[in-house]
Amino acid sequence: MIAQSQSQEELRDLYRELILDHARSPRHFGKLDGATHSAEGINPLCGDKLKIYFSIDADGRISDAKFEGSGCAISVASASLLTDTIIGLKTEAALDFFSTVISRLSGRSEDGEQPFSKVDLGKLIALEGVKEFPSRVKCATLAWHALNSAIRNESETVSTE
C-alpha cells in the first residue's frame, strides 16, 4: 500500500486545490475587447486550444489580459494563473515570468543549463507538480508560450508539437 499512497500523493501534488479551483473557475475568462496583442496555443496531443488576449499600453504595461478556449485542468488552470499574475506588469517582467515558468517546469533553462528563477513564482509554484508528469509539462506551459508569442508579436498560433 506504500506504492499506492505515494502515487496518490504525487497525483494530489499535481492536482492541488489551487489548480482544481482555477480549472473549475478560471479567472479572466473570455474574449478581451480592444486587445492589442493576442496569440493562440494548441496542444494537438490532447486537444487543448487556448487564445490569450492582452492590452498593452503605450509604456509597455499589460493593463488587461483574458483567455478563452478549452483544455485539460492543467492547461486551463495555468492560463488562469497566468492572467492573474501578469496583469499590471511591464512586458519585460511578464517575459521574466515566462522564462522562469518554462525553466522550472521543464527542469532546464533555454540554454540547457540548470533551472533558474528570474522572479519569485508566488502561487505559480502550484504548477510545479507537473515535473513528475513529463507528458503534462506541455499542458502547463501552453498558455505561457502563447504569452511569449503574443508579446513578441510572433506567429499567431503556437503549437506544443
Binding site residues, other proteins, CB under 8 A: 2-4, 6-8, 10-12, 14-15, 20, 45-48, 70-74, 133, 135-136, 139
Residues 16, 84, 96, 72: is their CA dihedral positive or negative?
positive
CA pair distance 47, 43, nearest whole angstrom: 6
Q: Which residue's CB is nearer to other proteins, number 11 or number 125?
A: 11
Q: How far is the CB of 69 from other proteins (least distance, A)?
A: 10
The minimum distance between CB 136 and other proteins, in angstroms, equals 6
Q: Contact, 149 vs 136, CB < 8 A?
A: no
Query: Of 70 and 157, which CB lies nearer to other proteins in the complex structure?
Result: 70
Question: 12 vs 123, which CB is nearer to other proteins?
Answer: 12
In terms of CB distance, is 14 or 147 closer to other proteins? 14
∠ CA 88-127-94, nearest 5°, is 25
CA-to-CA dists, residue 125 to 5, 62, 102, 119, angstroms: 23, 22, 12, 11
What's the min distance (Å) between Cβ of 25 and other proteins?
12
